[in-house]
Structure formats: C-alpha cells, structure tokens
Structure 1
Amino acid sequence: MSVMLDLPQSLEKELSTEAAQLGLSLSEYVIRVLIAGRRVGQGIKSGADLVNYWHNEGLIGSRSDIVDSQEHARLLRRQAEQRVKE
C-alpha cells in the first residue's frame, strides 16, 4: 500500500538525517517510526518487551565500535570516578 504525505520540509530533513544515521532509507525509517508510535499505547510490561523495543528501534547492535560491552562499561566507570569536580 502506498500513502502520500505532504511533510513540512524541516520534518522531512530531520527524518532523512535520522534515517541516514541508522543506515536506512527514508521510507524504511518512516515505517519504523509509525510502527513504534502504534506501540506507545501498548506499554512495556516485561524485560523481553523492552529488549524487543530496543531491537526494533535499532539500539541493539548499533555500537559496532564496542567489542566488549563489559570492558567498555568498566572504562566509563573509571573515567567517571577520575573526573574532576568543579
């Protein structure tokens, strides 16, 4: 099914930028946004729901630069502990 939308230019640019950051076409990204919007009313009731939500939003696996997540967390913790308070 095809749907034509007349989006404000600023919204189209914003959506295009977000799609590019995720490596998706604009139409693929808009479909994800619409699906996610429909789920808002359903709520997240379990950990599995949360993981599914993160997966559908492209958050899981989005940091290919982090090979070892536990080591990365340790590094962030050390950096926070050594931060100079102003």
Structure 2
Amino acid sequence: MPALDGSPRAIAWAERCRHQLVSDAYTALVTDGDLDDDAWEDIEDAARTVTRAGWWIDNRESDPGDLPELLAAATSSDRPNENPY
C-alpha cells in the first residue's frame, strides 16, 4: 500500500486503521463471502488510491463488507492529484 498523507501522528494511526479495515474486508468478502480473488484485486487497487490519512481514520469503524462502497464514495480530496502543478 502507498504512503499516506497527513501529520506523522495521523499517518501512524491511519496505517493501523487501513490495515485492519482491509484485512477484515478480505475476510468478510472473500474468505467468508462470495467474492473471488480477481474482484478483490479491484478493491485493493481502489484502496491504494485513497491516501488521505483522515479518510481511513474516519472510516475505521465501518462495516468491512462496506469497503467497496466506501471506496467508491471517496472524493478527489481523498486521492492524490496525479499532476501537482
């Protein structure tokens, strides 16, 4: 997963939140659910685009099965701008 954007304290907390949410989502959607590994890769790719630490902190208590919808609802401010100029 890519580095997160935010203060050092927020980044440390968000990295734990992201790891827990993504791990729990994998269990809920793939291990215990009907999602295959190819579909999971799409979810992981979407998760990689959300680099704002605050987004992961804000969604830390979300239901893991909702991760695809949460990622789809993430705004452009939650994702890095490819062209910084």
Report the TM-score when normalising by structure 1.
0.33
Larger radius of gyration: 1
Higher relative contact order (CA 8 A, sep 6+): 2
